[in-house]
A = this chain, B = another copy of it.
Amino acid sequence: MKAVILAAGKGERLSQGKDKSKPKPLIPLLGLSLIERAILSAKESGIYDFVIVVGYRSEEVVKYVEEKQKRSGLNIDFVENAEWEKGNGLSVLKARDALQEQEDFVLLMCDHVFDSSILKELLAKVMLNKGGKSVLCVDKPENVFDLDDATKILLERNKPKAIGKGIENYDAVDCGMFYCTPAMFNMLEEEMGKGKYELSDAVQCLIECDKLEVFDISGRFWCDIDTPDSLEYAKNKMLKSLEKPTDGIISKCINRKISKRITAKIVNTNLTPTQITIMSFIIALASAAFFLLGEHKYLIIGGLLAQASSIIDGCDGEVARLKFLTTDYGAFVDSILDRYADGTMILGLIIGYWMLYGGISVWIIIIGLFALIGSFMISYTNSRFENIFENSVKGGGRGIPIRRDMRLFIIMIGAILNQVLVMLLLLAILTNLEVVRRVFSIRRIFKLPTVPPT
């Protein structure tokens, strides 16, 4: 499957913002230009072949994309539309020669950002139900940021009846994502014969000959980036989407709020997620080193560093998701370093305490070791039954919330209050109690009767 991406327009209103020197496809949004975002969103859905239609300042756009996607393994063809000012329908038609005859394709706009799951589902829908029609993604009008500027659609029993920016009655809005059959080109040619150069003119024809279906994507994130305001809107929505339903309490209330802001900054640098993971690990080691010194003032610094490490630990995943750099390997390394960080911090706390109060040190060792074992066991039980525990813990309803966000928070508070023993005791009790709870709660799931399915 090929994707045709329209990147020919000027985007005048957008270039009135701070990035005025750039052609629209190269305008950055959270670390990636709009054209890169369109390409990588499509790649997430398994599309590796692209036809990009360029127009306004085409040389710059081509050079930029070629440079950025050099080692990506993607096949990218460029098609020039010198008459881009006539209308975006002409840009689509220009892509025809770069496609095989009678080949279906996906049509995207470089200035529309979208959650890549939308495209995955669109393709899945088409695969399941090959109706030979083109499919247009639509959303409910109330979900659209700039309704005045949107292309509206009138529906009747879920079938499209009319399309246009100016139509008065409408039920849905065009999201700028299409699954197209080659019929699209015929309609474009026909309309151009009549002097109509806009894509929506051809879509109106498809509607009239019953060759278009709509696919409702309401509830998913997408945004047409036309103005500096819509760019800001999209940015906020995308940052908001970094919150995970499985985030723990501390993560939700504190860490994520800060890490999102940090991420919004560092996403514009060349820092990779792995580098951020390592930074978080180094901060944790520094925290352990301060704990080792034992004195209260160093404990406070160590505690704050522990919490800082916990916050930065969220940024690696956030940057990875925003820049399409998520890998299983990255998540694996992150989890390994987290465990070593936890262990080293507790080691630092034990030795720091021991250095200060040599007298009762057997207890600090025992309690500290059980805090360490418990912390590991929370991660270990999670790893063995990831989905079961994540689901039962998320929503906060069940289980003791003693995942990493909470553990490091307890360490910070304990260090600030100079209550190392109490802090370790709390960790030792809560973590191991939660492990026991998990062992018993999971029992019910396994102890289903061994009767055959009837």
Question: Which A residues are within 8 Å of any B CB, using their own CB?
Answer: 43, 46, 48, 72-73, 327-329, 332-333, 335-336, 339-340, 343, 346-347, 350-351, 354-355, 361-362, 365-366, 369-370, 372-373, 376-377, 379-381, 383-385, 435, 439, 442-443, 446-447, 449-452
Contact = CB atoms under 8 A, between A and B. Distances in A.
A446 B48 contact: no
Contacts of A335: 380, 384
Given A329-B447, A335-B380, A340-B377, 15 more contacts: A43-B450, A48-B451, A73-B452, A329-B446, A336-B381, A340-B373, A343-B369, A343-B373, A346-B369, A350-B365, A351-B365, A351-B366, A369-B369, A373-B376, A379-B380
A444 to B, nearest CB: 10
Contacts of A372: 343, 369, 372-373
B450 A73 contact: yes
Contacts of A381: 336
A106 to B, nearest CB: 14
Chain copies in complex: 2
Contacts of A373: 339-340, 343, 372, 376
B369 A329 contact: no
B384 A369 contact: no
Nearest to A73: B451
A329 B440 CA distance: 10
The A interface, classified by DSSP as helix, strand, loop or mixed, is helix
A43 B370 CA distance: 42
Nearest to A71: B449
B449 A73 contact: yes
A336 B377 contact: yes
A332 B336 CA distance: 21
The 8 closest A-B pairs by CB, nearest first: A329-B446, A73-B451, A48-B452, A343-B373, A383-B383, A376-B376, A347-B369, A383-B384
B376 A365 contact: no
Contacts of A439: 332-333, 336
A433 to B, nearest CB: 13
Given A354-B362, A443-B329, A339 B73 contact: no
Contacts of A447: 329
Contact of A351 (B332, B362, B380): B362
A43 B450 CA distance: 10
